[in-house]
Amino acid sequence: GGPAMRFFQSFLLALKNILTSKVRSVLTMLGIIIGVSGVMVIIGMGNGMENYMKDSFKSLGTDLLTVNILGTGTSKKVDVEDMYRLVTDNPAYLKDVSPSVRISGSVKIGSSTLDETTVGGVSEGYAAMKKYATDSGRFLQYADIRNRSNVCVVGSYITRMWFNGDAVGKNIKINGMTFTVVGTLKEESESEEGGTDDSVYIPYSTAARMSSTGMITSYSFQVVSEDNIALTKEIIGDALFAVYGTKDAYSIISMSEILDIMTTMLNVLVAVLAAIAAISLVVGGIGIMNIMLVSVSERTREIGIRKALGAKQRVIMQQFVIEAATLSALGGLVGIGFGYLLSALATFILQSALDPNLAVVPSLSSILTAFGISAAIGVLFGYLPAKKAARLNPIDALRYE
């Protein structure tokens, strides 16, 4: 038959030899099985974490820049108009801006005090920037900002927990001032106390009036494209530097940059862990080499007969390499199955213990890589014993008992 046929016969013979000593073959494959499943689960965990981080950051808005103005204690200051002008002057880089004023103090509904609720003074464009959708009523409008109205929009947690799903028109007291609810927002994340949905939004002008200094010190800018964030930061930075003359007077934080840094750190960690798991693949390879060497000495007579019958060195060598490769490839396959089971188990544990959004996601590339490495290791470590077998002198081999 042709080379393909011969290869297939070698493969069948290899399977037969592997099956004759089952226990030995399984023990040999253990290193490969553990290595492959280990690499799979670790890379899967890395992927899962990365997805989780990206999702978490998406809700914070990766297209937003947070600008905090610390000021210099002098009378020079940037006001809201300057910030809005910055957006109108740079339409290629900036889409929108919203002042954001955090109000600390008490939020009361009836006689109950809400401890965890965050109150933010924002602009009418804030919901669109954060991609929040209104559920009922309306979001803040420019008129509310201009008139410093005592109106507010509440998150879904507050609507559900405190107003039985119907909040529009009801009242909330913030630091003793009464605010009327004009709108409610759709649920953003799992609605929980202190979460994204446990929040109240009021016009920034009203919030500034309520704060001790009456100044707005924080802004959220929406960028046109996340690709040129560095340039966008520079534009805002230059404008602020022109006013304050020192870089210490302000800070510009971009979520996408923080996400990039965290992703890079995570990738390094995963690579190190995967490399540690891959060590057992090498150990598995050494195990395969040992077994093949034993196999060569056990089958010395058989090799002698085949050589005496005219089998070429290359064919005998091929036989042993195929056997080693088959052993490790089988180990790889079992390892992949085992890795999937482990991933499912790990996902279940993570989701019930930590967060329902966490998952272990083995990527196809990690599976193929692990399998490829395991097969390659078989060939690599199968080479020496095969060479030894092919070089046997047929006369000595036949005499060998």
Cβ count within 10 A of residue 47: 19
Is the pLDDT at 79 greater than 90? The verdict is no
Closest CA to 114 of 185, 198, 183, 190: 198
Cβ(140)–Cβ(153) under 8 Å? yes
Least confident segment among 80-94, 263-277, 331-345, 385-399: 385-399
Residue 190 has what pLDDT? Answer: 65
DSSP label of 187: P
Lay out the sheet containing 218-223: strands in order across: 94-99, 218-223, 64-69, 250-254
DSSP for 100-160, please give it. Answer: -EEEPS-EEETTEEESS-EEEEE-TTHHHHHT--EEEE----HHHHHTT--EEEE-HHHHH
Residue 401 has what pLDDT? Answer: 65
Identify the helix (H) or strand (E) that includes residue 12. helix 3-20
Cβ(83)–Cβ(61) under 8 Å? no
Q: Is the dihedral of CA 225, 231, 235, 237 positive or negative?
A: positive
Rounded mean pLDDT of 74-100?
Answer: 90
Give 234's contacts (C-beta < 8 A, 6+ positions apart).
Answer: none
Instruction: In whole angstroms, give the CA distance from residue 17 to residue 323.
Output: 8
* Residue pLDDT, tens place only, 167-181: 999 999 999 999 999
Residue 78 has what pLDDT? Answer: 84
Instruction: In whole angstroms, give the CA distance from residue 141 to residue 124.
Output: 5
Q: Phi and psi at residue 97, in whole multiples of 5°?
A: -145, 150
How high is the mean pLDDT of the chain? 89
Q: Is the dihedral of CA 87, 90, 95, 100 positive or negative?
A: negative
Cβ(200)–Cβ(180) under 8 Å? no
Range among 8-17, 76-85, 144-153 with highest mean pLDDT value: 144-153
Closest CA to 121 of 87, 144, 96: 144
Can you tell me whether residue 186 is helix, strand or coil? coil
Q: Does the predicted TM-score (pTM) go above 0.85?
A: no
Least confident segment among 141-145, 172-176, 307-311: 307-311
Where is pLDDT greater, at 194 or 24?
24
Band of the pLDDT at 191, cuts 50, 70, 90?
low
Type of residue numbered 291:
I
Is the pLDDT at 151 greater than 80? The verdict is yes
Residue 219 has what pLDDT? Answer: 93
Is the pLDDT at 98 greater than 90? The verdict is yes
Q: Is the dihedral of CA 237, 238, 242, 246 positive or negative?
A: positive
Band of the pLDDT at 72, cuts 50, 70, 90?
confident
Where is pLDDT greater, at 76 or 230?
230
Is the pLDDT at 154 greater than 80? The verdict is yes
Closest CA to 228 of 261, 258, 256, 264: 256
